[in-house]
Amino acid sequence: MNKKTIAIILAGGKGERAGGTVPKQFIEVAGKPLIVHAIERFSLGYIDGIIVVSLEKYIDKVKRMIEKYGIKRNIDIIPGDVTRQGSSFNGVNACPRDTAFVLIHDAARPFVEEKIIRDVLDAAMKYGVAIPVIETSDTAAFEKDGFVDDIPERGKLKRIQTPQGFSYETIHRAHRSAKEEGITDVTDDCGLVKRIGGKVRMIEGSILNIKLTDRYDIEISEKIIGSIRGKETA
Ligand code: CTP
Ligand code: MG
C-alpha cells in the first residue's frame, strides 16, 4: 500500500486578538487571503493530500476561495472544534487510512518557506516527530504574584513554530490519550506527544515564519512576503 504524507492546515480559529470583521485567515495580503497563501505553500509534489480544518460556517467560503484562486489540488475541508487541539484532532481523524506522516500547520503562519516544510518532514521520517524552532531574542521570566520568580537561561529557550511533523501513529495516539484524560486545550501538537513521553526533534525554523496574531502582525505581513519572494528568487 502506498503510504501517504498529509498536510493539515488549521483554520478553525476566530482570530479574536487580531480583531476585524472576519477571522484573520481570510484577510487579504499581497492580493490573496492568508488561507490561500498557506494552502499554496503546501501544494508540493511530495505532499499527497491537504486537509483544511475550518470553522463550519466558513467551509463554503474556503471552497469558493480555492476555486477563485485556481488551486488545482483536491483539498478536503472539514469542520474544526472549539479548541485548537480539537480542530487538530478532527484533522488527524480525517486523514486517509494509509497515511504514514502528517504535517500540522497553522493557517496563521502563511509564509512558511519550502525548506522548513522539507526539513520538518525529513526529520519526522527519521525521528518520528519534528518541529521548527527559533532562538528567543527576549529574555523570558517565570512570574509569581506579579514578581519575577525565576529567569531561565535564554540560550536554552526556543520558540516553537509550525508545521510540526509526526508519524501518523504517534500523533493519533497522543491525541487519543489527551482526550481520554479530559485534556482539551493543549495549544501545540508536539506538547501532546511530550505528554505521552515521546521524543521531539528540533530543526531550524525561520523568523519569517511568524504567526500572525494581532493587527500589527497583519500590518507587517506585506513586508514579510516581499522578503520571502526576494529570498526565493535570489
Ligand atoms: N485554530 C483552529 N481551531 C481553533 C482555534 C485555533 O483551527 N479552535 C487555528 C487558527 O485558525 C490558527 C491556529 O490554530 O491558524 C493558531 O491559533 P491562533 O493563532 O490562536 O488563532 P485564533 O485562535 O484564530 O486567534 P485568537 O486566539 O486570537 O482568537
Ligand atoms: Mg487561539
Mean pLDDT of the chain: 95
Instruction: For 178-208, write each residue's pLDDT tens digit.
Output: 999 999 999 999 999 999 999 999 999 999 9
Q: What is the pLDDT of residue 1?
A: 58
Instruction: For 82-135, write each residue's pLDDT tens digit.
Output: 999 999 999 999 999 999 999 999 999 999 999 999 999 999 999 999 999 999
Atom of ligand 1 nearest to the CA of 54: 7
Atom of ligand 1 nearest to the CA of 18: 28
Helix residue ranges per DSSP H, 47-188: 59-68, 84-93, 114-127, 168-180
β-bridge mates for residue 35, sequence order: none
Q: What is the pLDDT of residue 219?
A: 86
Q: How many degrees, rounded to 5, is the angle at CA 130 between CA 43 and CA 36?
A: 25
Q: What is the pLDDT of residue 155?
A: 92
Burial of 12 (0-12, 13-18, 19+ CB in 10 A): buried
Mean pLDDT of 4-18: 95
**84 CA distance to ligand 2 centroid (A)?**
7
Atom of ligand 1 nearest to the CA of 106: 15
Three cell numbers, residue 47? 505532499
Distance CA 66, CA 35 (A): 9
Q: What is the pLDDT of residue 223?
A: 83
**13 CA distance to ligand 2 centroid (A)?**
6
Residue whose CB lies within 8 A of the most ligand 1 atoms, among 88, 106, 160, 209, for a mutation test: 106
184 lines ligand 1 (CB under 6 A): no
136 lines ligand 1 (CB under 6 A): no
As residues whose CB is below 5 A from the ion ligand 2, the structure lists 13
Ligand nearest to the CA of 14: 1
β-bridge mates for residue 88, sequence order: none
Q: What is the pLDDT of residue 157?
A: 96
Distance CA 128, CA 203 (A): 13
Residue whose CB lies within 8 A of the most ligand 1 atoms, among 42, 84, 187, 188, for a mutation test: 84
Does the pLDDT of residue 227 top 90, yes or no?
A: no
Q: What is the pLDDT of residue 177?
A: 98
